[in-house]
Amino acid sequence: GAISGAVGPYASLGPDFEARVLEGLGLEGEPVSTQVVPRDRHAELLSAIALAGAGLERFATEIRHLQRTEVREVEEPFRAGQKGSSAMPHKRNPITTERITGLARVLRGYAQTGLENVALWHERDISHSGAERVVLPDATILLDYMQHLALRVARDMTVHEDRMRANLETPAGLIMAEAVMMALATHVGRGVAHRLVESACRRAHEQGRHLRDILMEDETVCDRLSPETISGLFEPEGYLG
């Protein structure tokens, strides 16, 4: 805070008066001010709010992706009586996480406004004032609302473990190729292991077969890894550390 006169030299009211008022308000004194407190303070606050919003948007975007009909591993809460897509009855629109995403864009716009307000004519014009009356209260309220929405999604979302398991097997167990390559690399080196597994993956793609079955038929692989080891490498639990 600052109560230092028209241009900041305490011409009418002294520093002691400012100190008493700010103490009553619970504010620190602004050590370098003109008529106004420098607006980099406000820009820093709005930037922090925008970053918090971006973090919530990251969470919301992932939920939106996981809710897609062809993925359907996680769904945001869907209340009784709530309608999905107006055109596609099978579809549940992720309206809450879409709202978080859109509001995060608004917060980034407010951060830009905060940066625009830093440079003032002669360090004392009030062109920032009209903008701040909108962006400061709105940004704090919006962030609080977005946190409320995100907490509800996190608390009440539906997790489809069966869909997760099914997606891990699609397509043809190929996502476990890295685990196979690393196990094989201990016997033949990483370069050779990469070529062997890459070739097996290509055959699995072309033939529409499971990678595990292709590897079981490869003599070079089977000479180094037992069938039990190969099968074990295709268990997703092995990726849990």
What are the tens digits of pLDDT across the range 43-74?
A: 999 999 999 999 999 999 999 999 998 899 99
pLDDT of residue 184: 96
What CA–CA distance (Å, rounded) separates 125 from 120?
Answer: 6
Q: Say if CB 31 and CB 106 are below 8 A apart.
A: no
- Phi, psi angles (nearest 5°) of residue 173: 70, 15
pLDDT of residue 124: 80
pLDDT of residue 79: 74
Rounded to the nearest 5 percent, the helix, strand and coil shares of the chain are: 65, 0, 35
Block means of pLDDT (10 residues each) for the chain, 241 residues, are 84 90 94 84 97 98 94 89 72 90 98 96 88 97 98 96 88 90 95 96 93 94 94 86 72
> Per the structure block, which two tokens stand in for 161?
């473990």
Mind listing the pLDDT tens digit for each residue in 129-148? 999 999 999 999 999 999 99
pLDDT of residue 197: 96
pLDDT of residue 13: 84
Q: Say if CB 218 and CB 227 are below 8 A apart.
A: no
Q: Which residues pair with 158 in a beta bridge?
A: 75
| CA distances for 205 relative to 82, 176, 192, 198, angstroms | 41, 14, 20, 11
Query: How many CB atoms are closer than 10 A to CB 19?
Result: 12
Sign of torsion, CA 48 54 59 63?
Answer: positive
**Cα radius of gyration (the chain):** 29
H or E stretch at 159: strand 158-159
Distance of CA 176 to the CA centre of its chain: 26
pLDDT of residue 6: 79
What CA–CA distance (Å, rounded) separates 227 from 208?
Answer: 21
